[in-house]
Structure 1
C-alpha cells in the first residue's frame, strides 16, 4: 500500500470518527443530556439582631453546627429591662386612672340622681302652686320663683348627665377592651419582646460561618453580623434549552459530586426555573435595548433545574454550599439510558483525576 493510500485511509478514518462523534453529541444532547455546571446550594441566613445594643457574650464559634432556637450571642439587656419596668409602671398607672374614672363616673351618676330628685320635687311644687294661684292663696312671685328653680334643676340634671358622658368617653370601653389598658399592655408586650430579642437565636438548623463577632462590638438592628448556612440543601444544574426538550419534573437523573469521586447518586428533577435574568424587562421608563451581535451562531441560552437526591439527604447536608457536581439526565429509556449510566459512571471515576 502506497503512502498516499495510507494517508487517504487515515483521513477517511478521522472523518468517520468525527461524523460518529458529532452524531453522538447531537443525539446525546437530546436523549441523555449532561451538564458539568451544577452546584450544591445551601440557603444562607444572615444573622442580624432585631434590636441594637452592645454584644456581651458570644456563645458559638465559627463553623459550629447549631440547631434552630440555639442562642448565638447576647446583647446588653439593661436598657431593655428598664423599658419593661417603665411599661409595667405605665400599665399600673393606666389601671389607676381607669379606677379614678370609674369612681368619677359613679359620683357623676349619683349627682344625676340627686339633681333628678330635686327636679321631681320642684315639679310637684310647681303643680301645687299652680292649683293654689287661682284661689289667690299664693303670690305670683312665688310661683314664678318656683318655676325658675325647677328649670334650673332640670339644667343641673342635664349638666350632670353630660359630665357622666364625658367621663365615659374619657374612660372608653370597660374591662380588657379599655383603650388605655390595651395601649399599656401593647407597650409592655413590645418591651418584653425587645428584651427577648437581646438573646439572638438561630432561626434554622445549620452551621455558623464568617463569624467575626467579639464581646464589646456594637450590634445594629437589622445589620447582619454572621452567616448561618442552613442544613437544608438544593442541587442546581444549568442546561442548554435544547437539551431540556424531553425533560420534565420527575425525570430521573444521576449526580456525581467532585468531592465524592467514584460515587453516583440517584436523583430526580424537582423543578425548572420559570426564567432567567435576561428574560426580565425593567420597568424603569427607558426604551427597549435589543441585543446586537455580528456572530452568525449566537450563544445558547441556559436554563436552571433543581434536583432532589433519593434517600441521601444526609450526604447532601454534609456537602458545603457551592460544591461542584455533574448531572446526567435520563429523559428517555432504552439504550440511551444505558449509555447515560455508562457516561455517568465514567465521569464519576474521572473525578479521581481532576
Structure 2
C-alpha cells in the first residue's frame, strides 16, 4: 500500500513538473522521502492499532471416538467423509461376550433374590422361636418365684424348687439360642441400603445394570452432526477403551467458528462488537463482514501444565492472541470448510482516519487472492 501511494505521489510530481508548476530539481524529487515518512508516521503506524489485521481461519472440533468397552469390530457402518446426523450408527462391537455377561448377571440376581427370600423366611421363623422361648422363660421364672415362696413357708420341699430352677435354666438357654439364631439370620440377610433394599439384592441389580449398559456400548453412535475422516477401521479389528487408542476421528460440523490472530501490541483497543471485514482464500474477490464476538483472555504460552517438576525455562515470545469473529450472515459459514484461511481487518474506535487505508488494503488482498497462494 505504501508503494502504491508513493507511486501516486511520484506520478503527481511528474505531472506538476511537466506543467511547470514545480521545478524539476533534486529537492522536488527528494520530497518523496518526506512523503513516505509522513505516510509511516501518520497513517501506517497508527493503523496497526486503529485497524489491526491478522490471519483468520475456520475451526471446528475433531472428536476422538473411543468406545467405552473393548472388543472386536463386527461391522463398520460409517463411510469416510459422508455427512452423518447425531445418533447415526458408526460401528458395532461383537456383543456376544456382553450378552453372556448379562445372562450371568440375571442368573446371579435371581439366585440372590431367592437367597434373600429364604433369609427373610428364616428371620421370621427364628424371630417367632425367640418369642416362644421368651414366653417360656417368663413362665418358668414365674413358677420358680411361686415355688420359692412355698418353700419358704414349708409347703413344698426344696427338691421341687430345684426342678423349677432347672426349668428356668433351660428356658434361659432356649432364649439365648433363639437370639443367636435371630442374629445369624440377620447376618445372612445382610445390610440394607438407604432406600430400604437388601444390600446384596441391590448389589446384584447394580451388576445387572452394569452388564446391560456394557451391552449397549457395543454400538457406537455419532456424537453430533459431522463426518468420519481418515477412516481406517474395518471389521475384525479390535478396539479398546483406552484414550490413547481412538478408533476413528469424527469431525464435528455442528459448530464452526472464525478465529483470528492479533499481535499483542495491537490488541489493546480490540473489543467485542467492533466491525470486521474478512478476505478468504476460498472466496477470492469477496469480503465477509462481521463483528468481534470475544477476545480470548489467554494464549497457549500462558498455560502452566501441572506436573511434579519445577517450571522449566523457555524462550518467551509475544504470541498472538485469538479473537473470535461472528459473521453478519451465519449461512456463509456453511459454504466454507474447516481449515479455510484468510485475512481479517478489525476496525476499532481509535484513529478512524486510518480505517480507509485498511479498507483499501483488505479489498486489494481479496482481489490478489486470485493470484496469491499464501496469505
Specify which of 173, 177, 188 is matched with residue 159 of structure 1: 177
Displacement of 1:228: 1.0
C-alpha separation in 2, matches of 1:282 and 1:90: 46
- 1:69 maps to what in 2? 87
Q: Does 1:111 align with 2:135?
A: no
Q: Deviations over 1:282-333 (max 9, x none)?
A: 66544773759xxxxxx75422212222231x43244222211211101127
Q: Deviations over 1:253-309 (max 9, x none)?
A: 1222211122222222222222223334566544773759xxxxxx75422212222
Q: Which moved more, 1:276-285 or 1:77-86?
A: 276-285
Displacement of 1:339: 4.1
- 1:194 maps to what in 2? 214
C-alpha separation in 1, matches of 2:236 and 2:312: 52
- What pairs with 1:197-212 in structure 2 (closer than 5 Å)? 197-212=217-232
Q: Does 1:289 align with 2:313?
A: yes
Displacement of 1:15: 4.6
SS at match of 2:269: coil
- 1:273 maps to what in 2? 296
**Contact 1:272–1:305, Cα closer than 8 Å, also in 2:** yes
C-alpha separation in 2, matches of 1:302 and 1:104: 75
Q: Deviations over 1:131-154 (max 9, x none)?
A: 321343432122123123213312
Q: Deviations over 1:40-99 (max 9, x none)?
A: 111110011111111111111100111111110001000000011111111111110110
C-alpha separation in 2, matches of 1:122 and 1:76: 70
* Unaligned ranges ≥5, structure 2: 1-16, 18-23
TM-score (norm 2): 0.83
Q: Does 1:33 align with 2:52?
A: yes
Compute the RMSD of aligned alpha carbons. Answer: 2.6
C-alpha separation in 2, matches of 1:10 and 1:43: 56
Specify which of 227, 231, 242 is matched with residue 249 of structure 2: 227
- 1:325 maps to what in 2? 342
Distance change in 2, residues 1:83/1:176 (3 Å): farther
- What pairs with 1:1-354 in structure 2 (closer than 5 Å)? 9-21=28-40, 23-35=42-54, 37-171=55-189, 172-173=191-192, 177-222=197-242, 223-231=245-253, 232-280=255-303, 285-286=309-310, 289=313, 300-312=318-330, 314-332=331-349, 334-354=352-372
- 1:295 maps to what in 2? none
Distance change in 2, residues 1:132/1:214 (3 Å): same
Distance change in 2, residues 1:286/1:117 (3 Å): closer
Q: Deviations over 1:128-182 (max 9, x none)?
A: 3123213434321221231232133123213312332332243223886221121
C-alpha separation in 2, matches of 1:87 and 1:290: 55
Q: Deviations over 1:103-151 (max 9, x none)?
A: 1001101111221222122123213312321343432122123123213
SS at match of 2:284: coil
SS at match of 2:323: strand
Displacement of 1:6: 5.4
SS at match of 1:233: strand
**Contact 1:40–1:325, Cα closer than 8 Å, also in 2:** no
* Unaligned ranges ≥5, structure 1: 293-298
**Contact 2:69–2:240, Cα closer than 8 Å, also in 1:** yes
Displacement of 1:206: 1.1
TM-score (norm 1): 0.88
**Contact 2:43–2:354, Cα closer than 8 Å, also in 1:** no
